[in-house]
Amino acid sequence: MMIAQVETGYDEHLNMEGVACPLPLLKMKQRLKQMTSGKILYVTTTDSGSVKDFTTYINQTDHVLIKQEYDQQRFHFWIKKPDGWQ
């Protein structure tokens, strides 16, 4: 989604479209672990369970949900890895 990239920049994109729970959450956590502190991960998924899963995970960690959108087909999340995280 090019418009989202212009409006809300990101460093990496994780496409989890067509993948069911709990895989989007697990893959998102793995990707964030690999990223450098302060970077932004953009995740797209079609699994509505991701909204609750991602929100719960972000609330339990220092990660920041910069933006969240839904376009009738996909859920979009921009998640920032906090500074100082390894």
According to DSSP, the residues that pair with 28 across neighbouring strands are: none
21 is catalytic: yes
Q: Of 19, 21, 35, 58, which residue is the catalytic one?
A: 21
Q: Which residues contact 82 (CB under 8 A, 6 or more apart)?
A: 37, 38, 61, 62, 63, 64
Q: Which residues contact 23 (CB under 8 A, 6 or more apart)?
A: 16
Catalytic residues: 21
